[in-house]
Structure 1
Amino acid sequence: MNLPEQLYLLACDPERRRVPERDKLGRVLRAAALTDLVLRGRLTDADDRPATGSVKPTGDQLLDEVLAEISRDKPRKWRAWVSRNHRPMLKQVQAGLARTGVISVRQRRALGLFPVDEVTVHDAVARERLRERVRGVVIEQRAGAAEETALAALAATGELRMVLTARERRQHKAHIKELLAAIGPAGPALRKVIDGLKAAHSAAVHGGGG
């Protein structure tokens, strides 16, 4: 599985059969796709913008579509690419996992009104093993492969609470920052995007209260 697919699984709540934090998860998955392409040598950094170091296909449909999107578009900063098309990315990753039988998705209506996706993870044990490996990179500062380092940094930065609690993220803030710096430009760009979302939410709450 590519990085976006693994992060989607990490974000799942297998017991409740749901995926919380969907409003920001698409952006986390976009950052994961960009990071995956960096790790594969397909993207490089050019003045805080992704450049196609190689347009040779990776063989992964999701990643190749992102690579093609970047190669044919005008130069944009990493932060812009993290937010761009984040909703379709979430749907695409979910559909891909369902197509390969990793998850099943059934739509129901919450309170009889609002459509909600009920997501069943078919191998919850494997997902939990992945979660523990990723947590170990952060909490135990265990040396991991490049892929595990990227998953840990992105899950922590994306504040996926199914992986790390807010308290754990605070306790290991310095190490998370080190991990983020090690995975390429998309990680720090995600941090800026998440901070921007939180600032906008705070402004809306306080503005509404006034």
Structure 2
Amino acid sequence: MPDDSPSPASPPSSPSPPSSPASGPPASPAGPAPAPPLPLADRLYLLAWDPGTGGLTRNPHLHLLVRAGALADLAQRGLITEERGAVVPDLDARTGDPVLDGLLELIAESRPRSWKRWVRHEARLTLTAVRDRLVAQGFLRVRTRRVLGVFPRRGYLLQRPEAVAGLRSAAELALRGERGAAEVPAADAALVALAAAAELRTVVSARDARAHRARIAELALRTGRAAPALRKAVADAKAA
């Protein structure tokens, strides 16, 4: 039969000494810090990929689009300006972004060129640098195939389709959202305006381009000279 008599009371415990800041490591944060937003050129390049197939959609102006994104990024940071129709860099400036800093150096070491010429001049260098960075960050994966069973051919596959889906949602909100164009973040405004100028149909379809022409024009005003320069470069490429 169980014993129901009360157990003797235990002696009161002595209070714990107050902790000091040096008594242990600080409490860990609730979670990892959010990753910084991708640069504009990287976002534009990723938006050309199809999350469903993992492949790159066809756009002959993609290298021009990525270069224009890098130029717009530098302009929004105040690191390139225009003098007498030519793009002029801040010779002492550095961003810490190797793609943008490489473009700044290229502009500084070259003869003066207009915005449209800088959209075109060696634009594939910027695209390659962006693509290689996205591979290193895990957004893309290198795939090597053999042509005719002999010749190796290097290709790429999208590794993070959810990232592209998120970018598309942000672009759609900038294009169709209820906020006025002046209230859209500058990078999002540039993304939509440049995508429309380069006819990147994964972001701005031909129907959207017609239906939202006024909105796109308002967003382009937030982009500075990069959007009209890209539009002219694309027109020249199509006429060639």
Aligned to 1:59: 96
The 5-angstrom pairing of residues 142-161 of structure 1 reads 142=179, 143-161=183-201
Shift of 1:188: 0.7
Shift of 1:59: 0.3
Bigger mean CA offset, 25-34 vs 133-142: 133-142
The 5-angstrom pairing of residues 12-27 of structure 1 reads 12-27=49-64
Bigger mean CA offset, 12-21 vs 1-10: 12-21
Shift of 1:168: 0.8
For residues 107 and 94 of structure 2, the distance between their equivalents in structure 1, rounded to whole angstroms, comes to 13
Query: Which structure: larger Rg?
Result: 2
Shift of 1:116: 6.2
From the superposition, tell whether residues 69 and 135 of structure 1 become closer, same or farther in structure 2 (CA, over 3 Å). same
Q: What's the TM-score, normalizing by structure 1?
A: 0.86
Whether the aligned pair in 2 keeps the contact of 1:42 and 1:56 (CA below 8 Å) is yes
Whether the aligned pair in 2 keeps the contact of 1:181 and 1:188 (CA below 8 Å) is no
For residues 29 and 128 of structure 1, the distance between their equivalents in structure 2, rounded to whole angstroms, comes to 19
1:80 aligns with one of 117, 133, 136: 117
Q: How many residues align?
A: 199
Work out whether 1:121 is the aligned partner of 2:159. Answer: yes
Bigger mean CA offset, 52-61 vs 66-75: 52-61
For residues 84 and 119 of structure 1, the distance between their equivalents in structure 2, rounded to whole angstroms, comes to 27
Work out whether 1:198 is the aligned partner of 2:238. Answer: yes
Query: What is the letter of the counterpart of residue 148 of structure 1?
Result: D
Shift of 1:25: 0.4
Aligned to 2:221: 181
Shift of 1:149: 0.8
Query: What is the letter of the counterpart of residue 165 of structure 1?
Result: S
Aligned to 1:168: 208
Unaligned runs of 5+ in 2: 1-37
Aligned to 2:133: 96
Q: What root-mean-square deviation, in Å, do the aligned CA atoms of Structure 1 and Structure 2 show?
A: 2.1
Unaligned runs of 5+ in 1: 201-210
Q: Secondary structure at the match of 1:11?
A: coil
Whether the aligned pair in 2 keeps the contact of 1:41 and 1:54 (CA below 8 Å) is no
For residues 209 and 147 of structure 2, the distance between their equivalents in structure 1, rounded to whole angstroms, comes to 31
Q: Which has the higher contact order (CA 8 A, sep 6+)?
A: 1
Whether the aligned pair in 2 keeps the contact of 1:48 and 1:185 (CA below 8 Å) is no
For residues 29 and 82 of structure 1, the distance between their equivalents in structure 2, rounded to whole angstroms, comes to 9
Shift of 1:125: 2.0
**Which one has a larger percent helix, Structure 1 or Structure 2?**
1
Q: Secondary structure at the match of 1:12?
A: coil
Whether the aligned pair in 2 keeps the contact of 1:43 and 1:54 (CA below 8 Å) is no
Question: Percent identity over the alignment?
Answer: 37
For residues 141 and 185 of structure 1, the distance between their equivalents in structure 2, rounded to whole angstroms, comes to 26
Q: Secondary structure at the match of 2:47?
A: helix
For residues 235 and 152 of structure 2, the distance between their equivalents in structure 1, rounded to whole angstroms, comes to 29
